[in-house]
Amino acid sequence: MSANITLTMIKPTAFKNNCTGKILYKITEAGFRVVAMKVTKLSKEEAMKFYEVHAGRPFYGELVDFMSSGPIVAAILEKENAVEAYRELIGATNPAEAAEGTIRKECGTNIGENAVHGSDSDENAAIEASFFFSQTERF
Ligand code: ADP
Ligand code: MG
């Protein structure tokens, strides 16, 4: 079953704009099961660690500052083929290029503040899930 999870975060702007309910509705409507969920806030150090694969990219500093700027929702989602299915539900990185009906199209602000995170592989989903949740916090 572990191959069938993905990790999402509702990013600070979407949380602040009260988009959490709409996003969770779209997630559950699409057939994902919530395995774990919490409201939390990343420190700058934690955001740097979460996004360390992007260290060196021109947007890394901006991304770390943004992701540590306010509360977020972190959640583990389960579904068959979860990583790919969730990437399809959230849409392209840039909300302006995301397909109609996707979470980023409907809730994203710009390419940085794009409403949600979604894991990009089963391997990273497992790493990212463990970043936020212990085994006893998963149901
Ligand atoms: P995704 O979140 O779609 O997997 P990436 O992994 O490439 O996209 O990038 C991680 C996050 O970094 C994006 O979700 C977005 O918040 C931010 N980001 C990506 N590209 C840019 C960019 N060109 N300018 C500003 N922020 C960006
Ligand atoms: Mg990514």
Q: Are strands 72-78 and 116-118 parallel, antiparallel or unpaired?
A: unpaired
Angle between helices 82-90 and 122-132 (to 10 degrees): 80
Please report, for residues 2, 49, 54, 116, 119, the alpha-carbon distance to residue 136 in angstroms, rounded to integers and kept in the order given.
Answer: 15, 23, 30, 25, 21
The pair phi, psi for residue 14, each rounded to 5°, is -65, -40
CA distance 118 to 44: 20
Query: pLDDT band for position 2 (50/70/90)?
Result: very low
Residue 1 has a pLDDT of 46
pTM above 0.75, yes or no: yes
pLDDT, tens digit, 9 for 90 and up, residues 58-106: 999 999 999 999 999 999 999 999 999 999 999 999 999 999 999 999 9
Catalytic residue list contains 117:
yes
Domain locations in the chain?
A: 2-133
pLDDT of residue 3: 52
CATH level 2 (architecture), domain 2-133 = 2-Layer Sandwich (3.30)
Q: Which stretches of the chain are assigned E, i.e. beta strand?
A: 5-10, 33-40, 72-78, 116-118
Q: Which two tokens stand for residue 59?
A: 């947007």
Q: In this structure, which amino acid lies at residue 26? A: K
* Protein residue with least CA distance to atom 7, ligand 1: 93
- Ligand 2 centre from 118 Cα, in Å? 7
Q: Which of 15, 114, 119 to mutate to test the pocket of ligand 1 (most atoms within 8 A of CB)?
A: 114
